[in-house]
Chains A and B, each alone.
Chain A
Amino acid sequence: MSESNPPPSATPDKALEQVAAGERVSRLKLLRESYLYYSFKRDIGVQLCLLIFALMVLAALFAPWIAPNDPYDLTQIDIMSSELPPFWVDGSDPRFPLGTDAQGRDMLSTILYGARVSLIIGFGAVALQALIGVVFGLLAGYLGGRVDALLMRLADVQLSFSTLMVAIIVGAIVQASFGRATYSSYAVALLVVIIGLAEWPQYARTVRATVLAEKGKEYVDAARVIGLPSRRIMFRHILPNAMSPIFVISTVQIANAIISEAALSFLGLGMPETQPSLGSLIRSGFDYIQSGSWWITLLPGAVLVVLVLVINLLGDWLRDVMNPRLYKN
């Protein structure tokens, strides 16, 4: 009945323009005024962590352009220059600042490429975990009842297998039935799938708990009263309000996935030596550590430790900042 009334002249037009113009500015302003930004600005440790993490990610991302050699290119590898020490040890070669490994590959290039593989697997696995976990967690929390019981028991079953066990079984089966060559060419995808499938319950449980808390709030009732379908309520209303715990566990999970991949590669079930990740580099150098060539294992090991450490420190900080109970008092 009220739509038929002509709107008061001039005012709505002006208001509409302001509404359209203001929307974007407000979000940026919200971030700048947020506690997150404030806390980040004051915490030098966190800034340092983010800087190191960003540098490592960038270096890994642009490895093909930065690295002096291509460890995948067999023509660039000379077995005669194997096991050369890094530059601060006597007998080093200026061509290889961080020395070479047992096959004569430049350590710096290999670490850059290896970090790239590790990060790709880490982010890929976490993306897969998050996708499965968020969808299952939302469904379990919002629909409740039988769906909840089924999905959460599934999560319990999944959690009762350790990641390593799943990986060992799947890896062994694939290697046995398709051969090592096929396994090598799909190793990255396979590891992403294995680590992703093994750890989704972490997300599902966290998301479910958050959804249960959000579901009781009246804005969800308001959305239901409007008549919005469940899917839209779950993804458009509840999910945006459940993002902070998802961010927090994502950081921890990326570190976990990188460690899992390193552990698997160390056991010989991960990346093959021809496309080394940090884990398989550590493994390949392990045989030479007693013979004096410590750098083949320790240098990629140090990179792995620093990478996982900064991610975990960032995650810790994020958890503190995003927990309103911690910062409000």
Chain B
Amino acid sequence: MSANHAIATDEAAPLLEIKGLRKRFSLSAGLLDQLRFRGGRLVRNRKYVHAINGVDLEVLRGEALCVVGESGCGKSTVARTVMGLISPSEGEIRYRGERIDGLAPRALLPYRRRMQMIFQNPYASLNPRMTISQTLQEPIRFHHPDWERRRVEEKVVEVMEAVGIAPDWGKRFGHEFSGGQRQRIAIARALAVDPEFIVADEPISALDVSIQAQVLNLMMDAQRERDLTYLFITHDLAVVEHFGTRVVVMYLGTVCEVAPTAALFATPRHPYTRALLSAIPRLSDHGVERVRLSGEVPTPVELPPGCVFHGRCPIANERCRREIPQLARHGDTLIACHAVEEGRD
């Protein structure tokens, strides 16, 4: 894999690579709050939330990589770290082979044009004081300062038409639109700079069910027409089945399984994936055995030793409690599980 880095234009090389990514958030306030007397000595006591604990991912060109997992498993943190909204504690992020984590804002600008983001809440992602055309013109004007006014306006009209918003609505403000329309506008804003890679952080979970399909189809059309690559964060497995090329299953800040969508839904391998998939409500009841997990997700403040899932895993053994499993290739699928590796599943 490391040999590919030199060839930035290699079509087979992954567009985005994440290696050993970790992010922890400090729970403690200032230095004074961290100091404690313990046994007659002054100790600095710091607590962290371990949001991501060593995530390795590759996003291939032209695919829609879906990241699933329950709330708090670090999906959104991965998305925000990739976009540079938060900086990772450890690990590297490479885009077309170039490291983009820790770059200065100015050095990131060329990547900002190629990578865009769609946010979860369309009610908060549009600036309430700006009209739609101002919102859409801003990224174009910023990245193409040499474009003349007319060309910018034509581009705005083009993206508005692409997302199905009438261009003469541009003079309106965000609050005059419905949730679905706002999310279309947010997609238009992302498309305005002609990106090749879009990170979508739960773009439809704030929307009405009837609107979800429209927005999803819009995103798929955009992918086809504009040759886009998606990193799609969601907790909705039905969406994954409809939308994803490959699926990443995350649990407590680690990747459990990476598999092509069809393979994952047909034969889930990781014990957590099985439990997750069996929780999908289905019309027919036969042949599906519900996997019931006992206990709760451990707190990310004090991570369990070994595999993060061992406390709730029906097939965990002594090794799972001691040793952290690494992602290993099984055919098309990558699985991080000692049981699968040993054939105990």
- Enumerate chain A interface residues (CB-CB to B < 8 A): 1-3, 5, 7-8, 11-12, 14-16, 18-19, 22-23, 25-26, 30, 149, 217-219, 221-230, 237, 240-241
Which chain B residues border A237 with CB–CB below 8 Å? 127
Determine how close the nearest CB of chain A comes to the CB of B31; give it in whole angstroms.
Answer: 10
A218, B121: Cβ atoms closer than 8 Å? yes
A218-B121, A225-B85 known; A22 and B171 CB under 8 Å?
Answer: yes
Determine how close the nearest CB of chain A comes to the CB of B186; give it in whole angstroms.
Answer: 7
B-side interface residues, number (CB < 8 Å)? 50
A226-B142, A227-B143, A228-B142 known; A241 and B157 CB under 8 Å?
Answer: no
Determine how close the nearest CB of chain B comes to the CB of A32; give it in whole angstroms.
Answer: 14
B138, A26: Cβ atoms closer than 8 Å? no
Give 6 closest A-B pairs by Cβ, nearest first: A22-B171, A227-B112, A15-B167, A218-B125, A240-B129, A18-B168
A219, B124: Cβ atoms closer than 8 Å? yes
B131, A26: Cβ atoms closer than 8 Å? yes
Which chain A residues border B124 with CB–CB below 8 Å? 217-219
A222-B125, A241-B129 known; A7 and B85 CB under 8 Å?
Answer: no
Determine how close the nearest CB of chain B comes to the CB of A86; give it in whole angstroms.
Answer: 50
Determine how close the nearest CB of chain B comes to the CB of A203; give it in whole angstroms.
Answer: 20
Q: In the complex, A22 Cα to B30 Cα: how many Å?
A: 50
B154, A227: Cβ atoms closer than 8 Å? no
B117 at the interface (CB under 8 A from A): yes
10 extra interface residue pairs, beta carbon distance < 8 Å, beyond A14-B168, A241-B129: A3-B158, A5-B158, A11-B161, A26-B131, A26-B171, A149-B30, A224-B85, A227-B108, A227-B112, A229-B105
B329 at the interface (CB under 8 A from A): no
Residue of A nearest to B222 (CB): A2
A12-B167, A218-B124, A219-B124 known; A227 and B153 CB under 8 Å?
Answer: no
B126, A227: Cβ atoms closer than 8 Å? no
B254 at the interface (CB under 8 A from A): no
B234 at the interface (CB under 8 A from A): no
- Within 8 Å by CB of B125, from A7, A8, A26, A219, lies A219
A227, B105: Cβ atoms closer than 8 Å? yes
Which chain B residues border A19 with CB–CB below 8 Å? 133, 153, 167-168, 170-171
Which chain B residues border A229 with CB–CB below 8 Å? 105
Residue of B nearest to A17 (CB): B168
Residue of A nearest to B172 (CB): A26
List 13 interface pairs A-B (beta carbons < 8 Å), by A numbering: A2-B162, A7-B157, A22-B168, A218-B121, A219-B124, A221-B125, A222-B119, A222-B126, A225-B112, A225-B116, A226-B138, A226-B142, A229-B105
A218, B133: Cβ atoms closer than 8 Å? no
Determine how close the nearest CB of chain A comes to the CB of B183; give it in whole angstroms.
Answer: 11
Which chain B residues border A2 with CB–CB below 8 Å? 158, 162, 194, 225-226
Residue of B nearest to A226 (CB): B139
- Within 8 Å by CB of B157, from A12, A22, A26, A221, lies A12
Q: In the complex, A23 Cα to B170 Cα: how many Å?
A: 8
B73 at the interface (CB under 8 A from A): no
Docked complex: B115-150 residues within 8 A CB-CB of A: 115-117, 119-121, 124-129, 131, 133, 138-139, 142-143, 150
